[in-house]
Structure 1
């Protein structure tokens, strides 16, 4: 469903070089410089830039708009945020479909994970170690501090540097040129600064891991495995370009991990379910190859992880329309774990493929009584209602869903579909306008809302709602354009 495109240029968002870290792991005796950039770029300004960057990314990158995976990485990310230091912004975690190993963070608490990370991380603690490192880049305001440092050494203003990053996301070659043109001072000075960032991100990240109940040894273990695998590669993955792994950094992180009490962490079924879903649907692997991968893993998997591999097989069967093979697997899985949203999402898809949307409606409605307002269950419930041609009820559910989850394009797409079915052209235009606004396509979004207003009854509350939204979008557009 999503096409692969070039991965985003991380620029100074994910810092470039590293240096040895102190082995005093638990004391966190670094100076409190997380707010050092406050005089040049406020938290509120960071939020504005972060929102702008994210809108461009939505329109230019193959974001994985998968409700099940979004729920998983959001829950994992916020578990770490709850145990991080110096949190001053909200956080949003999202996935980009790209087999390259990479992660990056930017203004406003946005953290991106490449799907390729899940193909290489062997445990939840390993993926958590990457996320914790990126969270630290945000909490310690490394991007703002880097811009402050560059502005101090050049005639460029902090606003010009922030705009350069904005431009780089929209047009990478132009953005890199802009940053090069506005950056002065010696290269050694810049390297030292970015090494300091990496030192902080490792230090605070591993502390966050420990407080959140993850295996701190996962960080050096994952980094060491990556370094060994790509030691002689002519083209290392993006993560090793933005976060190089010299032996001394791995050694230091290993020493730091040893200073925390040993912790035995049980394998996370949810992590392995997420990994199986990525292998089945987002790794670009042919169905037969994916099935072979699951079968090979099943031969040596512990009993606790067998369900995740069976689930992966069921998804491959489901996507290749082999419903007779998918059904018994999913039925067994959901019988043993009836409220698991990975399984409920798949069983809903199965019933719809079987032309039995009423069964999907029944399953989702029942599960929602136990998990009210769960986004995975709600979006599947709405989808099943539309498949059953219960459009009015589907629209009611989706109106609430898009109110609670305005940044999820899945809700707006389904709302558009439902209104098309009822020939509600104005509401269809309004739903599509919201998708365009999320991608920074302001003029087209305003155009769609203008058309919707013209279709609405003159002087009606609906027309007033459309007109009010036009005013809001014009303000957002002007603010967005002023950043460039």
Structure 2
């Protein structure tokens, strides 16, 4: 339930992750967050952000892992709560790509490459990347960059924004469109991007410190990254598009040192997430993963040992080595019975062992302690399907998809439950929602039309399908108008 291409959007959006800054613990920075208000409104940015996200879902290897998504979202919103100039909601997600990168775009969307978890040694280091990207959004750098380009070219803001959208849908055509609108203005664009990066670092370090993380984590992480790839014949894409010269790292280190040193305990949740990424989203193979856990454990404090045991358990589980996985997971759950990382894995283990009843009992108890937890809920629905309790699963998933309409996991399971229950029209409706999330409007409308034809004439169900068709047609027209 749960290919590897590089998004052109990463190249178009200011997403270099470290730059010089001025020392000032008081953060006496200009109010620059609304400079772009004359070009794109917040409402327009939200429209473009939604459109970009749908295209990314269609073409990029987005990781739809409820455990990882919950961790990234919690971390991101912990930072957003301390950020300045927040004008949009935020959505955080991961792309399966071992290249080190992160990027942000319209509407508060922040993407992290899985490769970041290979290199960030602490939660503060990962948070420094996220805080930087949040600053790109709050300071509206993409819109402001387009404003600068529009001043130097005959292109309109709409043409530039449409080119970015086209770049995702058709990379060659999109690159041609962007080249046409920016040719002859490269130096000005480079200077403006450097200015954006400086601002993003200034605001990012401040957010990092206010949220209780180590301000020094940003220069430490990127200084280590620069050292590691200084003589590499093929540096990661981030360093090719956004180099890390010494003066940038030195200045960011000076700014970070102006904040009091925070004594931050090692985050078990970060290391559990990191272990899950290593085990499932790096394609290193079982032996290499076990070797990585062994090496990392030797260099880590004893309180992080559960993270490495958890990573090993996942590798065993994915290789159907159920006895080894069972030993590790039961020990972990015994010491931390409400940990969603462990409950998710143990639920899968019980399913593999054809003991779904045990999983149901465990998850019902967990839901009483955390009734709205997405990880536990999605696992519970999956177990209900395995137990052929389709009506119960459908009720759970209807609530879940209502609360989490952009989570394709919920729609996939709702489709499966309805197929198994013989509800063809509801299966079509669920699959239509997945297609709409990927901007496949015509197919989504077609599926809902078929569902309407299967429904009883004049029923509330048919009226619901028809109303959704009307909504999708409006969304399709708005989407096409953006291009």
Calculate the TM-score normalised by the size of structure 2.
0.98
| Aligned equivalents of 1:265, 1:475: Cα separation in 2 | 49
2:208 matched to which residue of 1?
209
Q: How does 1:112-191 map onto structure 2 within 5 Å?
A: 112-183=111-182, 186-191=185-190
Give the whole-Å Cα distance in 2 for the aligned partners of 1:116 and 1:8: 17
Task: Return the alpha-carbon distance in structure 1 between the equivalents of residues 339 and 77 of structure 2.
Answer: 19
Say if 2:302 is the partner of 1:307. Answer: no
**Partner in structure 2 of residue 22 of structure 1:** 22
- Distance in 2 (alpha carbons) for counterparts of 1:18 and 1:98: 20
Contact 1:16/1:195, CA 8 A, preserved across alignment: no
Corresponding residue number in structure 1 for 2:11 = 11
Per the TM alignment, residue 8 of structure 1 is displaced from its structure 2 partner at its CA by 4.5
RMSD: 1.4
| Cα distance in structure 2, aligned partners of 1:374 and 1:185 | 52
What is the aligned partner in structure 2 of residue 79 from structure 1?
78
Alpha-carbon displacement from aligned partner over 1:190-224 (angstroms, at most 9, x marks no partner): 22211110000000000000000001111001000
Q: Name the counterpart of 1:344.
A: 343
CA distance in 2, matches of 1:188, 1:15: 18
| Offset from partner CA, 1:293-322 (integer Å, 9 cap, x none) | 212323343111000000000001111111
User: How far does residue 288 in structure 1 lie from its aligned partner after superposition?
Assistant: 1.5
Q: Which residues of 2 match residues 324-473 of structure 1 at below 5 A? A: 324-473=323-472
Aligned length, in residue pairs: 483
2: CA distance between counterparts of 1:18 and 1:214?
17
Change (3 A) 1:111 1:15: closer
TM-score using structure 1 length: 0.98
Conservation of the 8 A alpha-carbon contact between 1:452 and 1:466 = yes
The answer to whether the 8 Å contact 2:14/2:193 transfers is no
Report how far residue 19 of structure 1 moved. 5.7
| Secondary structure of 2:376 counterpart | helix
Structure 1 counterpart of 2:240: 241
Structure 1 position 169, deviation (Å): 1.4
Instruction: Summarize deviations over 1:29-63 as a string: whole Å, max 9, x none.
Output: 22212101101100000000000000000000000
Post-superposition Cα deviations, 1:442-461, rounded to whole Å, max 9, x if no partner, equal: 00000000000000111010
C-alpha change, 1:49 and 1:325, in structure 2 (3 Å) is same
SS at match of 1:95: strand
After TM superposition, the structure 1 stretch with the greater mean CA deviation from structure 2, 450-459 or 235-244, is 235-244
Map 1:51-130 → 2, pairs under 5 A: 51-130=50-129
Return the alpha-carbon distance in structure 2 between the equivalents of residues 212 and 462 of structure 1.
47
SS of the counterpart of 2:11?
coil
SS of 2:111 mapped into structure 1: strand
TM superposition shift of 1:2:
7.3
Cα distance in 2 for residues equivalent to 1:159 and 1:72:
35
Q: Is the 8 A contact 1:88 1:139 kept in 2?
A: yes
Q: Which 4+ residue blocks in structure 1 deviate beyond 3 angstroms?
A: 5-9, 15-20
Cα distance change on mapping 1:94 and 1:18 into 2, 3 Å: closer
Separation in structure 2 between the aligned mates of residue 293 and residue 195 of structure 1, nearest angstrom: 36
Q: Distance in 1 between matches of 2:14 and 2:186?
A: 17
Cross-structure match for 2:481:
482
Unaligned runs of 5+ in 1: none
Query: What is the alpha-carbon distance in structure 1 between the residues aligned to residue 22 and residue 351 of structure 2?
Result: 56
Query: SS at 2:12's partner residue?
Result: coil
Within 2, Cα distance between the matches of 1:360 and 1:333? 16
Q: Tell me, in whole angstroms, the C-alpha distance in 2 between the residues paired with 1:43 and 1:211.
A: 26
Structure 2 stretches of 5 or more lacking a match? none
CA distance in 2, matches of 1:319, 1:18: 37
Cα distance in 1 for partners of 2:58, 2:190 equals 32
How many angstroms apart in 1 are the aligned matches of 2:35 and 2:223?
32
Distance in 1, Cα, partners of 2:354 & 2:4 = 31
1:12 CA drift (Å): 3.0
Q: Encode CA deviations 1:412-471: one digit per residue, 9 max, x unaligned.
A: 000110111112111110000000000000000000000000001110100000000000
| SS of the residue 1:10 aligns to | helix
